[in-house]
Chains A and B, each alone.
Chain A
Amino acid sequence: RKEVEQDPGPFNVPEGATVAFNCTYSNSASQSFFWYRQDCRKEPKLLMSVYSSGNEDGRFTAQLNRASQYISLLIRDSKLSDSATYLCVVNDNNNDMRFGAGTRLTVKP
């Protein structure tokens, strides 16, 4: 079983749609959680950290469910520019960052 699992997609949604991705992790000792965004042929860049109480950044909302060991990312009012691969990253406060393989999102006009 992979340590961090994501649905690879692709998720194809129209502009303006709401889309959600989940990510499950296997290490119950994990302490830090992130969503990174990776555009085609580019490097990953931090989208947002995920806090225990959940957090929002504009159209993006991240949630953490420790009991079920998953994190989620919700994107509201999707834009064409949201098309990318979204990587779930989990860390146990060592230098042990575990990356999911990513979920590909395509937003269509």
Chain B
Amino acid sequence: DVKVTQSSRYLVKRTGEKVFLECVQDMDHENMFWYRQDPGLGLRLIYFSYDVKMKEKGDIPEGYSVSREKKERFSLILESASTNQTSMYLCASSFQTGGVRQYFGPGTRLTVT
């Protein structure tokens, strides 16, 4: 069974703090993704990675960066958290590119005050 884990379920940070969200998958998947989910907007892609040390911008990369030093781990970094980054953050992985199933982690609900 594929397992995608995220470091925290709930996180509260202050404006201006640097925030790290960690994601780990145990299925040797090549591709990993970070989304944010907001009411009425659906999931929006922030960044994805198709290999170690590779990254591609998604639809809303501004204010975020990512790191993939190991195949199983994909980190999302908020350089200077702002209140408009309060959201649910979902990590996902898939074994290849193209229209294949993505497996999601449980999500991190981040509140920036």
Contacts and interface: CB of A to CB of B under 8 A. Distances in A.
Contacts, number: 52
Interface residues of B, number: 24
B87 to A, nearest CB: 14
A93 B99 contact: yes
A43 B104 contact: yes
Contact of A44 (B90, B98, B99): B90
Given A32-B98, A91-B99, A95-B48, A43 B42 contact: no
Interface of B: 31, 33, 35, 39-45, 48, 50, 56, 90, 97-102, 104-107
A1 interface: no
Interface in A84-106: 87, 91-95, 97, 99-102
